[in-house]
Structure 1
Amino acid sequence: MEIRVLEPKDAALYREIRLEALKNHPEAFSSGYEEEKEFSLAKTETRLGGGNFFTFGAFEQNELLGVVTLIVESKLKIKHRANIVAMYVKRKRLGIGKRLMLEAIKKARELEGIEQVYLTVTSSNEPAKRLYQSLGFETYGLDKRALKIGDDYYDDELMVLFL
């Protein structure tokens, strides 16, 4: 398995897996399938164009199996922080999610000035929470009723890793 930072040339593959994630697990993402399916491929290419965003992809035989994005804050007062978002593994295969997270954390450690990494996880997603805790993330809060899908509400657990 190869894990690498995605580039604009990977936009079609990324868009496909992103839409799958949003469609199959709407409670896990603040973005919605209905919104993002309208995004152009050019917008996805821009998203993968670098800057403060690093989207990692896990590939096996040229198939994109999982993704995670590290976003580095750019405002002066919060430049010591980064956020992990958009974590998704296509097939539940042991270790893909952990390897993606380790790459994102490694990148955060390599970046000058980053002291802590934040993420949000749906409070009912026990497997994801166990993974994040095993990597050293700690819960620091609960965002009650963070997402509303139809008539259902979902709480988000707020987690941080101090580097």
Structure 2
Amino acid sequence: MEIRELESHHAARYRKIRLEALQYHTEAFSSSYEEEVGLSSEDFEKRLEAKESFTFGAFDQEQLIGIVSLVLESRAKLKHRANIVAMYVRPESRGFGIGKRLMQHAIAKAKAVKGVEQVYLSVTSSNVTAKRMYDSLGFRRYGTNPSALKIDGTYYDDVLMVLFL
């Protein structure tokens, strides 16, 4: 298994795993499958080429089995911050430390970007495994966003976390 930063030529594979994540784990993401299924590989290429974000992929051979993105803040007063988004590991690949390795790459990238001092993320309060992993990486909880997501009439709280670099 290898972790690499995704480039535009990975767009089709990235689109596939992203849509899988959105379709089968709706409570874990603020975007929905319905919002993104109409996006083309070219739309995903643009995401991967964006200068303010970095997406990392876990590869088993050439199969993309996990993803995470680091998004930099662009406003002057927020440039000391970055955000972790779109974290996902395929179910059959969980339990092998892949998510942690993806996160370590994203954190290392944040540390390498001049001026970034803090990394933020939110995680669905019921996702105990993810919260435990984020805790082990040094993230600390600073709040809860109650009823952050509403899916088919059910509300989900988000736990807000920060890592000071």
Q: Shorter-chain TM-score: what band?
A: over 0.9
Residues in 2 aligned to 1:62 and 1:22: alpha-carbon distance in whole angstroms: 22
User: Which digits, 9 at most, give the CA deviation of each residue in 1:68-99, with x for residues without a partner?
Assistant: 00001111000000000000001314110000
Aligned to 1:145: 147
Residues in 2 aligned to 1:144 and 1:50: alpha-carbon distance in whole angstroms: 31
Aligned to 1:133: 135
Secondary structure in 2 aligned to 1:74? coil
Give 5+ residue unaligned stretches, structure 2.
Answer: none
RMSD, aligned CA: 0.6
Shift of 1:54: 0.2
Secondary structure in 2 aligned to 1:106? helix
Aligned to 1:2: 2
Aligned to 1:75: 75
Aligned to 1:98: 100
Aligned to 1:51: 51
Runs of 4+ deviating beyond 3 Å: none
Aligned to 1:26: 26
Residues in 1 aligned to 2:8 and 2:155: alpha-carbon distance in whole angstroms: 35
The aligned amino acid for 1:115 is: E
Q: Percent identity?
A: 62
Aligned to 2:15: 15
Secondary structure in 2 aligned to 1:22? helix
Secondary structure in 1 aligned to 2:21? helix
Q: TM (normalized to structure 2)? A: 0.97
The aligned amino acid for 1:109 is: K
Aligned to 2:112: 110
Aligned length: 163
